Amino acid sequence: MLNRSRLGYSVTGAALAILFLFPLLWSGWASVRTGSGFGLENYDRLFTSDNGVSLRNVVNSVVVSGLTVAGTLLVATFGGYAFGRFRFPGRDVLFLVTLAILMVPYATILIALYVLLGWIGLEDSLIGLSLVLIMFQLPFSIFMMRNSFEAVPRELEESAQMDGCASFGTLVRIMLPAVRPGLITVGLFAFLTSWSEFFAPLILLNSTDKFTTTLAVVNMRTASHGSIDYAALEAGVVFMAVPCLILFAFMQRSYVRGFTSGAIKG
Amino acid sequence: MMTTVITPLREERVEPPAARRRGLRRQTRRAWLGVAYASPTAVMVVLFFLVPLALVGWMSLHRWPLLAPPTLNAPDNFTGIGDNDLVRSATWFTIKYTVIITVLLFTVSLGLALLVQHRRRGVGFFRTAFFLPMAVGFASASLLFLGLLSDEIGPVSDLLRKVGLIDGYVSWTSGSANSALGSAVVLVLWRFAGFNMLILLTGLQAIPPEIYEAARVDGASRWQTFRRITLPLLRPTIALVLTLMVTGSLLAFDQFWILTRGGPDNSTTSLVMVIYREAFIRLDLGSAAAISVVLLVVLVAFNVIQLGVLRRRSN
């Protein structure tokens, strides 16, 4: 009886695992399969065809992701430190409003963000897009960083201040190393979100030379009036997914832990 | 969700009177430091969240063409929603899709979570395999399925033809309204089941093993244990997962924009696609804002109700 249930578990698990992994493996295979065998022709077409992906698109993606990760880390570290360690008027209100971002679906305010970015001269700009992406990262990131700072023993900070360490120095030298796991999780999330985000760039970017890689690859499908170059499309999918998969492989532990700790509390 | 995260302010230490003045000055200094550290957050939240939130409401009261000055026309944008056939069909479609996805995704996710609940051989591999699709961005995943389901390079049609389930050419993503919806549903199940499995898993693992042991000693069957222990104790997690699923589905965009293009014949056009269309194809931002406001109010109301239920259950 026990053995049969164990066998059932293994067979079911393995069958499902194959089902879940199959699309990933297939896209990798389809991206290198060519008419005559295997090769990188599909990637070649992805990067050289007229409405394919240009180096510019890849650079744009790197810039947007870099700005989003850096900006999120900066704002969330300061914010998390403030919420976790200081008392000041308006603290609880600001924290609540930040969390309220979670309740407001971003698709419903993107139209307004589009107009707003136009007003402040950031229409069709990678910086404007990054600022919007940072804002959507804030509830999770600030919540995460606040909890991280709160978990640091108070004595650590106090002894540093006794030694004459000014507050900013305390933050950089004493607190930051102590909250490193939180920083890694926050940065990782910010990267994964900004790297693969589609809707926000679609609305906020107009000119093709500002397009991120995701937009450019989707555009290959949208712009093709005749037949779609599916093989090049799969090459694009693989190109987009590989950085995320590598990060996952390296950081799965902290990713899953960071996520689940947020999920339980949230 | 919100009340649980606010920890009470720490008790300030009682200081002797002599040190109080110095302590007070220190406190003021620390308050200012706190304000300084919180200021980037405040600027971001006000400028990119509160202002757009107010602006979308303001826009909904105006005729707001993309390239001309806006003029007040309230409440035309809202009354126009009722007359818009596409909005009506998209609303029904979005609700239908939300119901289908919530039921299927929840069943699959819970099944996966129960399967990988205990530490057994291969469990780490299974969890990773189920969760890995999450690493692929949703837009990329939609493109992946576009190829996977295509007749040109995809293996699905070939495989089903060989097994004898279908014959001839089937266009999964644009052939019929049902197959287009089905394609999107399979894509979403693949992409999000592992994510929801993970949340449910944390809930399952928070149930004390002693309760299961007691049930076993009492001779409870597996089904009884599941119904009487697992489901009730998992309720807050289930509520959270269902909220995420409903919210996500009501905002569906990528899967339909990329995979089915909203077709055939607008049969898979979701509400957010209509918002995009009103704004950037019909160039009527006011009407798009009005639909956004309605959707936003519905979702916030839904979230508040869910929160209330969640809080009552967890207390």
pLDDT (tens digit, 9 = 90+) per residue, A109-119?
999 999 999 99
Arithmetic mean of pLDDT, A126-130: 98
Query: In whole angstroms, what is the distance from residue B86 CA to residue B267 CA?
Result: 10
Which amino acid belongs to residue B107?
T
Cβ contact, residue pair B48, A86, below 8 Å: no
- What values do phi and psi take at A37, rounded to 5? 155, -120
How many Cβ atoms sit within 10 Å of the Cβ of residue A167?
19
CA B63 to chain centre: 31
Query: In whole angstroms, what is the distance from residue B182 CA to residue B223 CA?
Result: 31
Q: Which residues of A touch B2 (CB under 8 A)?
A: 96, 99
Domain regions of chain A by residue span: 56-263
Instruction: Closest CB to B147: pick one of A101, A104, A234.
Output: A234
Nearest residue on chain A to B156, judged by CA atoms?
A: A23
Query: In whole angstroms, what is the distance from residue B238 CA to residue B231 CA?
Result: 8
* Pair A132, A113: CB distance under 8 Å: yes
* Pair B99, B156: CB distance under 8 Å: no
- Looking up tokens 């026990």, which residue turns up? A2
In the predicted model, is pLDDT for residue B313 greater than 70? no
* Pair A233, A27: CB distance under 8 Å: no
DSSP strands (E only) in B156-289: none
Q: What is the DSSP pairing of strand B62-63 with strand A37-38? A: unpaired
pLDDT band at B28 (very low <50, low <70, confident <90, very high): confident
Q: Which two tokens stand for residue B3?
A: 């009340």
CB pairs A-B closer than 8 Å: 285
Which of A:49-108 have CB within 8 Å of B? 74-76, 78-79, 81-83, 85-92, 94-99, 101-105, 107-108
Is the peptide bond prior to B70 cis by the omega test (within 30 degrees of 0)? no
Instruction: Closest CB to A92: pick one of B1, B6, B52.
Output: B6
Q: Which two tokens stand for residue B97?
A: 């899709």
Which of A:189-218 have CB within 8 Å of B? 192, 195-199, 202-203, 214, 217-218
In the predicted model, is pLDDT for residue A266 greater than 60? no
Query: In whole angstroms, what is the distance from residue B126 CA to residue B129 CA?
Result: 5
Q: What does pLDDT average to over chain A? A: 89
* A38 SS3 class: strand
Asked if A117 is an interface residue toward chain B (Cβ–Cβ < 8 A), one would say no
pLDDT value of position B190: 98
Choose between B208 and A157: higher pLDDT. B208
Asked if A229 is an interface residue toward chain B (Cβ–Cβ < 8 A), one would say no
Report the percentage of chain A scoring pLDDT > 90. Answer: 68
Query: In whole angstroms, what is the distance from residue A221 CA to residue B58 CA?
Result: 36
Cβ contact, residue pair A112, B116, below 8 Å: no
CA distances from A93 to B2, B36, B45, B51, B118 (A): 12, 16, 12, 16, 41
pLDDT value of position B78: 94
pLDDT band at B311 (very low <50, low <70, confident <90, very high): confident
Tell me how far apart the terminal alpha carbons of chain A are, to the nearest angstrom: 40
Nearest residue on chain A to B243, judged by CA atoms?
A: A103
Cβ contact, residue pair A116, B51, below 8 Å: yes
pLDDT (tens digit, 9 = 90+) per residue, A23-72?
999 999 999 998 888 999 999 999 998 888 999 999 999 999 999 999 99
Cβ contact, residue pair B292, A263, below 8 Å: no
Min CA distance, A96 vs chain B (Å)? 7
* B211 SS3 class: helix
B284: β partners: B65
Query: In whole angstroms, what is the distance from residue B149 CA to residue B154 CA?
Result: 5
Query: In whole angstroms, what is the distance from residue B205 CA to residue B68 CA?
Result: 57
* pTM, 2 dp: 0.89
B230 exposure class (CB count in 10 Å sphere: 0-12, 13-18, 19+): buried
CA distances from A96 to A162, B11, B37 (A): 33, 21, 17
pLDDT value of position A88: 94
Closest by CA position to A222, among listed B274, B277, B259, B242:
B259
Query: In whole angstroms, what is the distance from residue B150 CA to residue B172 CA?
Result: 7
Q: Which residues of B touch A102 (CB under 8 A)?
A: 1
Which amino acid belongs to residue B151?
D
Cβ contact, residue pair B285, A218, below 8 Å: no
Closest by CA position to A235, among listed A105, A41, A9:
A41
Q: Biggest alpha carbon distance in chain B?
A: 91
- What values do phi and psi take at B257, rounded to 5? -60, -45
Q: Which residues contact B107 (CB under 8 A, 6 or more apart)?
A: none
- Looking up tokens 């929801």, which residue turns up? B196
Arithmetic mean of pLDDT, B85-110: 96
pLDDT value of position B309: 76
pLDDT value of position A122: 96
Mutation site for A-interface testing, chosen from B144, B271, B311 by largest number of A Cβ within 10 Å: B144
Arithmetic mean of pLDDT, A123-149: 96
The CATH class that applies to domain A56-263 reads mainly alpha
* B49 SS3 class: helix
- Of A10-14, B53-57, B68-72, give the lowest mean pLDDT range: B68-72
Q: Which residues of A touch B48 (CB under 8 A)?
A: 113, 116, 131-132, 135
* Pair A138, B45: CB distance under 8 Å: yes
Query: In whole angstroms, what is the distance from residue B26 CA to residue A154 CA?
Result: 16
Q: Which two tokens stand for residue A7?
A: 């066998």
Cβ contact, residue pair A112, B55, below 8 Å: yes
* Pair A124, A132: CB distance under 8 Å: no
Is the peptide bond prior to B75 cis by the omega test (within 30 degrees of 0)? yes
B63: β partners: B71
Which amino acid belongs to residue B168?
G
